[in-house]
Amino acid sequence: MISATRDMLVSAKRPLGIDPTRGIGTAYEGYVKVPKMGGVKKGWVRQFVVVCDFKLFLYDISPDRNALPSVYVSQVLDMRDEEFSVSSVRDSDVIHATKKDIPCIFRVIFQYLILIGC
């Protein structure tokens, strides 16, 4: 079993509707930045995320200015994963991030990643 860690930079928040008794619905959708392959030193890539039904759905976005998210999901993280956790980061965790971005960065730890369309 492989555990993975992903730091994400949240750029916007937009609360949506969720049914707290059943735990279904869309809790959040918006843009995030995730580290490029090879880590934060390589930079960040912008993705669109939807938090829905205990899952994080990540959609790729073309680097072109004003590009829309893909209609196809690229990755899915299941928040019911036993190893799933979310925490804030410290300056020393993300030494290549700007000071103003640090409050917007959070670490997501998970065991299983579902890659779509590979």
26 Rama sector, left if φ>0, alpha if ψ -120 to 50, beta otherwise: beta
| Residue type (1 letter), 113 | L
| Residue type (1 letter), 9 | L
What DSSP designation does 81 have?
S
Instruction: Look at the pTM and tell me if it is higher than 0.75.
Output: no
Q: Which tokens sit at 74?
A: 């690229």
Tally Cβ neighbours within 10 Å of residue 61: 16
Tally Cβ neighbours within 10 Å of residue 33: 19
| Residue type (1 letter), 18 | I
For 37-83, what is each residue's pLDDT tens digit? Answer: 776 667 788 889 988 888 889 998 887 777 888 888 888 888 888 88
- Choices 2.30.29, 1.10.3470, 1.20.120, 1.10.10: CATH for 4-115: 2.30.29
Greater model confidence, 50 or 14? 50
Locate the domains of the chain by residue range: 4-115
Reported as a pLDDT band with limits 50, 70 and 90, residue 4 is very low
